Structure 1
Amino acid sequence: MSLTSPPPPGIGLLDLARLRSRTLLFFAAAALGLLVSGYVVTRSGMPVWGGTLLFLGAVAVPAGLKWRDDFVAWGPAVMVLSVLLTLQGFHTVEHVVQVAQFYVLGQPGIRSQGLISSLNIEWVHFTWNWLAAAGVYFVFARGMRGVWGWALLLWVTAHSLEHTLMLARYLSMEQSVMDMTMTSFPVGQALPGILGRDGWLATHVPVLRAIPGLASLPRVMIHFNWNVGEMTFLLLAARAGLPRLLSPPLPFPKDTRPHD
């Protein structure tokens, strides 16, 4: 594309969801992943999280090729947005499963671990949230702003800061456990953060305890609300800001235009 060429045709969120030439490969990989993961979980006793990882590994290749196609067709900003929508969407589903385990199956919060329980640990959530925040900062800088873009930016930053506090608490408790010569303690994603029951607001701002949910919700619901909010703002910001991500770069002034 030349510096003065018109912008490419507009696209919408549904265009980002289409697999295009990777459709057959994706569904073939998904079918194979389901068959293999289902077999090993039911026949070999592999935990559900292991089967989930096998399935995700199978569809990772066509998904990666699809994102490469997005990069070639629409540039890096749209590709990053496509990755964010996909991964955050799956992450939100994971929290829906955790809520179902907690409220429908009646499991305690510490056992409501979702589909990939082995990754439901503080380091993983801390890393994932700041990587997601970096992606949001990138598309924001490239033009996905407006009211919903700012709302998403503030939300993802606050969410990541809460996970930073939770990781700090986890590391502090881990050191205490090590000092007592204990090897481990099962508190992954069960420690309080800023919001919810026993969170920072509940312990430092007692007046907020009267606000329903803000200082009383269990941790599993706090995570669910954070991620549903993040996914909602991401969709709204993407719908409004996607055209700006497609805009071509501004042309050089005449006196600084590069010459052949």
Structure 2
Amino acid sequence: MNILKTDQIKKIKICGKILADSLDEVKKKVRPGITTIELDELAEKLLRAKGCTPAFKGYYVAGAGTFPSTLCVSINDEIVHGIPSEKYILKDGDIISLDIGAGYNGIYTDMATTVPVGKISAEAARLLKLTEESLYIGIKQAKAGNRIGDIGAEIEPFAGKHHLGLIRDYVGHGIGPEPHLPPQIPNFGQHNTGAKIIENMALAIEPMLTTGGEDTVVDDNGWTVRTTDGSLAAHFEHTIIIENGKPAIVTK
């Protein structure tokens, strides 16, 4: 279990602040005409300048290989794990998910946001707003004494109420001394199920919603995950710790 010690809590807060500040700077550069590799290069430069290392670059997954970049950039129907490229130039109306992780003296944080490129459709804007809202609905359930299932048990009906697709194949996770640790945190489920949430636990909560269905497909590169039906997807994530019984967001 990823229960942090006092020194690790200090580190995760420092790491989270650096990560959030760096992502804020990257978001400012999102505009029509820029390539996604430019965003990735900026993200890596910012993290390293502040004493952090990219958590995703060089990350190995069997069957997919080694991830080549600091950022995961997922555009429009891409859900997660998109690879930055000098070939894709952002255009007006796109939405882009920026997922980034960092390590700081042996402790990791992870966060994601989805942002508009120029002027986007009302449908896309609604998706972004509601997906971000679903993240905070989930975070509210991450308090001592609750269980992991309580998080998804609140996100799932929220998505259904708003007629949005809920991605089930990819989930949140524990975090701390490693970028990905137990427990898995689905964005669906039932109350009072799963591991008990306790003091000093570190979690990465990350709902992914779509304007269509929930089925996914992986590109030939082994990494980029898309909606099977081509619908738009959004992804928001924060790293939290349980502090004084309540969720404290460290990536802000």
TM over 0.5: no
Q: TM-score, normalized by length of structure 1?
A: 0.30
| Structure with the higher helix share, 1 or 2 | 1
Q: TM-score, normalized by length of structure 2?
A: 0.30
Structure label with greater radius of gyration: 1
| Structure with the higher strand share, 1 or 2 | 2
